[in-house]
Amino acid sequence: MAEDSFMRFLAAWALVHETADEGWKAAVVRGEDQQPGAMQAGPEAFVDGLSAMVAEEKERLKAALAAGDMEPPGSKADLESKLDDLLFEVSELRGRLESMQATLDATLAADDGSETG
Amino acid sequence: MSRRGRVIVRTFTRRWAAGAPAARFGFAPRSARRAAFAAATRMALEDLGPAFVKLGQVASVRPDLVPPEYVFEFEQLQERVPPSPTAQIEAVITRELGHPLSVLYADFDREPVAAASIAQVHRATLARDVRPVIGEVMPAGTPVAVKVVRPGAAKTIEADLAEARRLLARLDRLGLSRRIDAPALLEEFAGSLSSELDLRNEGRVSDRFAYDFRDDPLVMTPRIAWTHSARSVLTMEFVEGWRLTEIDDAARAGVDAFRLALHGAEVFMRQVLVLGRYHADLHPANLFVTPDSRICYLDFGIVGTTEPAERVHIAQVLAATVYGDADRALCYSAKLGLVVPDHKQREVRQRVGELMGRTLNVPGKPADIKGFATGFLAIMADARVPIPAGYGLLVKALVTVEGVARAIYPEIDITQSAKPFATRLIAAQMARPDRLAERLPTALRAAIRELTA
């Protein structure tokens, strides 16, 4: 009896999965057929459009995974992004220092001018 | 009253009197009446010179303090400022950078290419190589724009500001300045003035913008020569291109105007919804289209910021607005501080819904963001709902972006670029593990109920 219930639970789960999958595929097809601007026709049209956008993103993700482009946090890409940020901050600091140096030069020149004058 | 005070009063009286027929001596419908007086006020500000023009420009990005008709009128303010004598400008550069012009620049045009109330710009070429914060080294001979704070600009403006304060105090006593929160504007103006007088602030924001958009081949900002910049002098790469008023020439030269207009709107969405910093003073004079089909952003005088939590709410408001859902737009606006009192909810929701139908969702017509924003701000003013400063700045910036995009390509509908950004941000928010854990069980139960029904 318990085995029957368990099998029935799994069957229900498979049914939910199958129905959801069919619904999802149908929504993607409808979304892909939409004309620009059709997403605002109502909630169903919005879900269809969103499904098509998600499916498109999924294909990109699959392609990226197949090409080995996806790397976990702390990976080379993550490190490069952090290095970029750091490089920008250092460059920005250099810019500030250069501007301060110009102001310092100007102050010293003015000071020299007043002494010689 | 001082002589200058009398001039100010006379100028406003004359312009308002001249505007009275357009307002049918007060008998025109309210919005037409306000528009007529807004135009008269704009002309009075132009007559009164730089300080008042600047004040009007500050007001034009503050729909939380100023009625919408004035906000959109003041963005047309034109400065009619004669340039300062070049000798005075040269003296400022030498004083600020410590070297004569001949050491800093190989050439320096004595005629300015632009003159505004606070600063004027001269074209020059670099005398030596300069390494900018972002981008390639600028070799000796690179054309540059040298922006210099006009000598005495601060003093002149501050003197007018003091006079305006005195006059406002009188108006306040007479109860005549109810419509515009002028004292708040004046205080803000005084604060922003000191920031604008230090040109290094503009250079830093420009560098940050260049870094934020380093991966975008269609966007550029001039490189800054920091060795040639100080508080009152900013030297930056000179960008050749067309102003938005010359967009027809750009199109004839092969620039893809539609692509640029759409991209300009996307750049704004990215700034607001992803980066959290946006150019909030994007009028046509601050933009160029370059011969290699890029948009060049200049003059980062006013920058708005958005916090991560705000960005999600803004995305929700944008999505609800472009999909015509007044309930949702007001619900998320409340999370951004625009709170409609309970007893006015129904009326406001109905009016906003009707407005959306009239301006944003007309079949066969592009969305009219400016029409929607003007109506929305008027509804809030009628209902006496205070508008938070950040919310107002964002609404105004969005309208400006639409105006700029339409100057490039008149038929564009910028809501088309808002949708993907808003949808993606909302989807990312919904996919957060804590939110999924909170909602998934309910969603699954509902799905099973639906399937087994």
Cβ pair B416:A37 closer than 8 A: yes
Rounded CA gap, B300 and B209, in Å? 9
Tokens of B300: 């980062």
Q: For residue range B294-339, what is the model confidence (pLDDT) as tens digits?
A: 999 988 777 888 888 888 888 888 888 877 888 888 998 998 888 9
Question: Do you know the residue count of chain A?
Answer: 117
Q: For residue range B156-167, what is the model confidence (pLDDT) as tens digits?
A: 777 877 877 777
Looking at beta carbons, which residues of chain A come within 8 Å of B200?
Answer: 99
One-letter identity of residue B120: Q
% pLDDT > 70, chain A: 79
Q: What is the mean pLDDT of residues B434-443?
A: 65
Question: What is the predicted pLDDT for the residue at B173?
Answer: 67
Question: What is the predicted pLDDT for the residue at B204?
Answer: 93
Q: What is the mean pLDDT of residues B378-401?
A: 84
Q: What is the mean pLDDT of residues B361-384?
A: 85
A81 touches chain B (CB under 8 A): no
Local confidence band at B231 (pLDDT 50, 70, 90 cut-offs) = very high
Q: In the predicted model, is pLDDT for residue B178 greater than 60?
A: no
Which range is least confidently modeled, A93-97, A101-105, B159-163, B185-189? B185-189
Question: What is the predicted pLDDT for the residue at B11?
Answer: 87
Rounded CA gap, B148 and B126, in Å? 16
Coil, strand, or helix at residue B122? strand
Rounded CA gap, B97 and B148, in Å? 12
Q: What is the mean pLDDT of residues B433-438?
A: 63
Contact B261, B405 (CB under 8 A): yes
Rounded CA gap, B375 and B321, in Å? 13
Residue of B nearest to A47 (CA): B423
Q: Which residue has the tokens 């460059």?
A: A91
Rounded CA gap, B65 and A30, in Å? 46
Looking at beta carbons, which residues of chain A come within 8 Å of B134?
Answer: 88, 91
Say which DSSP state B246 is in: G
Rounded CA gap, B28 and B259, in Å? 42
3-class SS letters over chain A: CHHHHHHHHHHHHHHHHHHHHHHHHHHHHHHHCCCCCHHHHCHHHHHHHHHHHHHHHHHHHHHHHHCCCCCCCCCHHHHHHHHHHHHHHHHHHHHHHHHHHHHHHHHHHHHHHHHHC
Q: In the predicted model, is pLDDT for residue B378 greater than 80?
A: yes
Rounded CA gap, B276 and B370, in Å? 23
Q: Of the candidates B376, B293, B274, B278, which has an alpha carbon nearest to the alpha carbon of residue B333?
A: B376
Q: What is the mean pLDDT of residues B365-392?
A: 85
Question: What is the predicted pLDDT for the residue at B116?
Answer: 82
H-assigned helices in B135-228: 153-174, 182-197, 199-212
Q: Which residue has the tokens 């959801």?
A: A20
The distance of A66 to chain B (nearest Cα, Å) reads 23
Question: What is the predicted pLDDT for the residue at B123?
Answer: 97
**Beta strands in B353-401, from DSSP E residues, in sequence order:** none
Q: Torsion-angle region of residue B106: left (phi > 0), alpha (psi -120 to 50) or beta?
A: alpha
Nearest to B322 among A40, A98, A99 (CB): A40
pTM above 0.90, yes or no: no
Nearest to A106 among B96, B134, B427 (CB): B96
Nearest to B207 among A46, A92, A110 (CB): A92
Contact B42, B76 (CB under 8 A): yes
Tokens of B439: 């909602």
- Known catalytic residue: B299? no
Q: For residue range B86-121, what is the model confidence (pLDDT) as tens digits?
A: 999 999 999 999 999 999 999 999 999 988 878 899
Q: In the predicted model, is pLDDT for residue B403 greater than 90?
A: no
How confident is the prediction for chain B on average, in pLDDT?
83
The distance of B230 to chain A (nearest Cα, Å) reads 6
Q: How far is CA A105 from CA A115, B125, B149, B153, B228, in A?
A: 15, 21, 19, 24, 11
Question: What is the predicted pLDDT for the residue at A7?
Answer: 77
Contact B237, A110 (CB under 8 A): no
Tokens of B150: 């006009």
Question: What is the predicted pLDDT for the residue at B108?
Answer: 96
Question: What is the predicted pLDDT for the residue at B451?
Answer: 59
The distance of A105 to chain B (nearest Cα, Å) reads 5
Residue B44: how many CA atoms within 13 Å on its side-chain side?
A: 20
Question: What is the predicted pLDDT for the residue at B80?
Answer: 66
Q: What is the mean pLDDT of residues B403-412?
A: 81
Local confidence band at B438 (pLDDT 50, 70, 90 cut-offs) = low
Local confidence band at A70 (pLDDT 50, 70, 90 cut-offs) = low
List the Cα angle B426/B294/A56 in 5-degree steps.
Answer: 35
Tokens of B252: 């004839």
| Burial annotation B120-144 (CB, 10 A radius, 16+ → b, else e) | bbbbbbbbeebbbbbbeebeeebeb
ipTM: 0.73
List the Cα angle B55/B334/B431 in 5-degree steps.
Answer: 115
Question: What is the predicted pLDDT for the residue at B82?
Answer: 79
Looking at beta carbons, which residues of chain A come within 8 Å of B96?
Answer: 102-103, 106
Q: Which among A108-117, B190-199, B442-451 has the top mean pLDDT?
A: B190-199
Tokens of B60: 């034009």
Higher pLDDT, A114 or B131: B131
Q: For residue range A9-28, what is the model confidence (pLDDT) as tens digits?
A: 778 778 777 777 778 888 88
Q: What is the mean pLDDT of residues B389-414?
A: 82
